[in-house]
Amino acid sequence: AQSVAQPEDQVNVAEGNPLTVKCTYSVSGNPYLFWYVQYPNRGLQFLLKYITGDNLVKGSYGFEAEFNKSQTSFHLKKPSALVSDSALYFCAVRTISSGSARQLTFGSGTQLTVLP
């Protein structure tokens, strides 16, 4: 079975400061890892993904994430937070070995609030 944990329900950060949203995963086999963002009453928007290769992945809106296999983590980061980054962030994982379309598991989400 695969699972994703987002240990923080809420993250607050001041505008201009760096932000980190944490994600750890558990899978058998090599993972595909994703970050999505959701604004109120909207669908999820894709930010970035890790498939293979460089452990540092760059995505939309200045976000990046670092894949750490030994710590089974895929934390989302941004060097300088904007108030407009305030939203709900979801980490998701699926396994490369799985041929099933269903094998995408989401974390419970982290509400990021950037304070002006």
Q: Long-range contacts made by residues 58-66, C-beta under 8 angstroms, separation at least 24?
A: 59/35, 61/85, 63/35, 65/33, 65/35
Near another protein by CB under 8 A: residue from 3, 14, 26, 51: 51
Per CB under 8 A, 5 contacts another protein: no
Per CB under 8 A, 45 contacts another protein: yes
Residue among 25 and 34 whose Cβ is closer to another protein: 34
Per CB under 8 A, 83 contacts another protein: no
Near another protein by CB under 8 A: residue from 8, 73, 77, 106: 106
Q: What is the 3-state secondary structure (H, E, C) of 45-83?
A: EEEEEECCCCCEEECHHHCEEEEECCCCEEEEEECCCCH
Neighbours of 59 (CB within 10 A): 18
Residue among 41 and 70 whose Cβ is closer to another protein: 41
* Cβ–Cβ under 8 Å, residues 106 and 91: yes
Per CB under 8 A, 9 contacts another protein: yes
Q: List residues near another protein by CB under 8 A.
A: 9, 32, 34, 36, 41-46, 49, 51, 90, 96, 101-102, 104, 106-109
